[in-house]
Amino acid sequence: MPELADELQNLLKETEDQINKLPVAPSDDAQGEVIMLVSSFAREVASYVEGTPNENGIHQAMRPLKVVFLTEIRGTAPKFSPFVRGEVGSYTRYKHPEFLPSDGEPEIYPVDDDAICVDEVTDMENQ
């Protein structure tokens, strides 16, 4: 009889282990479960985006890429010059207004062959 009791205990334990391995039963409240999953995902993303003080944080990883991106975008912009072509006045370079953020814009020189000068813009406007 003790052998039967031991075997019964072993079978009960195995059955209980197999039951515990089964997936959770579907919920009766599917909408609530979806909302819970979405809010859990949003919390995880928020904690990741918030940033970390170490070099593996998302902001630290994106900073060099942001500089490259901004440089590439600014490189596609046409060069406009506030000078008349060929006229070199007392100004040797255009200084960006201090009340506007320059964000590293290059200086504009009056004798830049690639620049579109103000007189060319007004000529295009009059045509």
**pTM exceeds 0.75:** no
At 10 the three-state DSSP class reads: helix
pLDDT band at 125, cuts 50/70/90? Answer: confident
109 secondary structure, DSSP code: -
Parallel, antiparallel, or unpaired: how do β-strands 80-81 and 116-117 relate? parallel
For the stretch 36-90, pLDDT in tens is: 999 999 998 887 777 666 677 777 778 888 888 988 887 787 777 777 776 655 4
pLDDT band at 18, cuts 50/70/90? Answer: very high
